[in-house]
Amino acid sequence: MSPRRQLLSGRAKRRSALAAAMPLAGCDGPQSAFTGAGADAARALDLWSIMLAGGIAIVLLVLVVTLLALAGRGRARRAVASERTVLLAGLWLPVAVLSALLVYGFGLLEQAAADGESDLEIEVTAEQWWWRVVYRHEDGSSTETANELRIPVGRSVRLELHSADVIHSFWVPALAGKRDMIPGRVNELALAAGVPGTYRGQCAEYCGGAHALMSFYVVAEPTAAFNAWLERERADARIDDPAGAALFAAAGCGGCHAIRGTGNRAGIGPDLTHVGGRLSIGAGTLRVSGSGFVEWLRSHQSLKPGNRMPPFEALSDEDSARLAAFLESLR
């Protein structure tokens, strides 16, 4: 284990312990900034802990001073009433505290800037309302997938963030702060997971219609498992169910979706080459399973109103089931 990795995972473990100790709902959820499992998230969490403690101290100070003003007696009260106290507590104390905090914050910003170095690049493009994910290989080729990122644990990954339409924002609270995805610009974000796990992310900039249902998962796994996954993902689809493939084409799915290794090459909707091996359908709307695909095919417009996929209600129950089984088989 490299020193950097040790540092990362050590910090991350401490953070998860902190999160587990917090008796508050949602703090240890899959999309929680209290997890602090990535370098950037861990910095934010450290900062938060310091500011929370400082904030509580200041609230107590204000409370005590107010109580003294309302019900205090003698010297203490006269002290509160003086203009010197106003200057001390209202001017000099904030200036000192804020300056210290600011210097600390600048240090954190410098650390964040140093995160950027990485040999693994992933291009993420946000579209209304899903995520196009492209892995770039060393030989110049690339592999497209959707709504899910797999990353190796303990290694910094450089994300190149694009938008195809409106402004979106990439946010995996457990791993890193958010970064906007703006048409005409390319933003970067360093993502690093200290501990293996499945983390949830979501679009954080209101992007119209189904903004609330634009999620994704980040799966962090050990390097060997990651490499094996990338190898599988890179390969074309293995078609075990030619009848299903024919139905896919006949139903018109290929008009928008690609399945590498078949004739379907359209790039409008998410690439479905290995969709059966992913965690979710419809950018985090449903879990991947046979019944999940059936449900999506039948009622995706009510599950995720306004999404760009045309309705497929005309599909018979039997065909839906066959299509779902085919999609599930694409692992």
Partner 1 sequence: MLPSLSDERGPPNSWPRPAGEEEALRRIWQRPGGWRFPTAVNNTVIGALYLGAAFVFFVLAGILALLMRVQLASPGNEVVSQDLYNQLFTMHGTTMMFLFAVPAVEALGVLLLPQMLAARDLPFPRLGAFAVWAYIVGGVVFFSTIFYGLAPSGGWFMYPPLTTAEFSPGAGADFWLLGIGFIEISAIAGAIEIIVGTLRTRPPGMSLEKMPIFAWAMLVFAMMIVIAFPAVILATMFLEIERSFGWPFFSVDGGGDPLLWQHLFWFFGHPEVYIIFLPAAGLVSMIVPTIARAPLVGYRLIVVALVGTGFLSFGLWVHHMFATGLPALGLAFFSASSMAVAVPSGIQLFAWIATLARAERRIRLTTPALFILGMLAIFTIGGLTGVMVAMVPFDWQAHDSYFIVAHLHYVLIGGMVFPLFAAFHYWAPVVSRRRLSEAAGRWSFACMFVGFNVAFFPLHIAGLAGMPRRVWTYAGELGVGELNLVSTCGAFLLAAGILIFVIDLVRNFRFGIGEETNPWGGGTLEFLPQGVYSTRSIPRVTSREPLWDRPALALEVARGQHYLPNAPTGGRETLITSAIEARPEYVIQLPGPSWTQWIAAVFTAASFLLLTVKIVVPALVCGAIAIGACCAWAWQLDKGPGGGPVDIGGGIRVPVYMTGPAGHGWWAMVVLMFVAGSLYLAYLFSYLYIWTGAPEAWPSPSVLPPPGAAVAAIAALGAAVAAYVLAERGLDAGRRMSLLPWCVLLAALLLAAGVGIGLHAQWQAGVRPTASSYAALVYTDSLLNGQLAIAVLIMAGFTAARCWLGKVDLRRRACLENTGLLLRYTAAQAAVGQLLLHAFPRFV
Q: Site residues for partner 1, window 223-252 (CB under 8 A)?
A: none
- Per-residue x/- track, 286-315, partner 1 (CB under 8 A): -------------------xx---------
Determine, following the binding rule CB under 8 A, whether residue 105 of this chain makes contact with partner 1: yes
Name which of 182 and 325 has its Cβ closer to partner 1.
182
Determine, following the binding rule CB under 8 A, whether residue 205 of this chain makes contact with partner 1: yes
Considering only residues 148 to 177 of the shown chain, the ones binding partner 1 according to CB under 8 A are 165-167, 169, 171, 173-174, 176-177
Please name the amino acid found at residue 2. S
Determine, following the binding rule CB under 8 A, whether residue 30 of this chain makes contact with partner 1: yes
Determine, following the binding rule CB under 8 A, whether residue 101 of this chain makes contact with partner 1: yes
* Selection from 301, 1, 323 nearest residue 153 by Cα: 1
Q: How far is the CB of 10 from partner 1 (least distance, A)?
A: 19
Work out which of 20, 95, 114, 243 binds partner 1, going by CB under 8 A.
Answer: 95
Determine the Cα–Cα distance for residues 69 and 81; give it in Å rounded to an integer. 7
Q: How far is the CB of 177 from partner 1 (least distance, A)?
A: 2
How are beta strands 157-163 and 120-127 bridged, if at all? parallel
* Selection from 197, 120, 121, 189 nearest residue 161 by Cα: 189
118: three-class secondary structure by DSSP: coil
Segment near partner 1 (CB under 8 A); pick from 35-43, 232-240, 256-264, 291-299:
35-43
Segment near partner 1 (CB under 8 A); pick from 94-102, 119-127, 254-262, 263-271:
94-102
Segment near partner 1 (CB under 8 A); pick from 107-115, 144-152, 229-237, 266-274:
107-115
Name which of 116 and 242 has its Cβ closer to partner 1.
116
Residue 155 structure tokens: 């290694």
Q: By the 8 A CB rule, do 267 and 180 touch?
A: no
Please give the full DSSP string across 272-304, using - where no structure is assigned: -TTGGGSSEETTTTEESSHHHHHHHHHHHHHHS
Classify residue 160 by burial, with Cβ atoms within 10 Å: 0-12, 13-18, 19+: middle
Q: By the 8 A CB rule, do 143 and 233 touch?
A: yes
CA 44 vs. chain centroid, Å, equals 15
Q: How far is the CB of 262 from partner 1 (least distance, A)?
A: 32
Q: By the 8 A CB rule, do 128 and 308 touch?
A: yes
Work out which of 7, 18, 108, 279 binds partner 1, going by CB under 8 A.
Answer: 108
Determine, following the binding rule CB under 8 A, whether residue 82 of this chain makes contact with partner 1: yes
Residue 150 structure tokens: 């797999």
Determine, following the binding rule CB under 8 A, whether residue 59 of this chain makes contact with partner 1: yes
Name which of 43 and 132 has its Cβ closer to partner 1.
43
Name which of 107 and 242 has its Cβ closer to partner 1.
107
Q: How far is the CB of 221 from partner 1 (least distance, A)?
A: 20
120: three-class secondary structure by DSSP: strand
Q: How far is the CB of 204 from partner 1 (least distance, A)?
A: 4
| 146 to 160, 168, 257, 281: CA distances (angstroms) | 15, 16, 11, 10
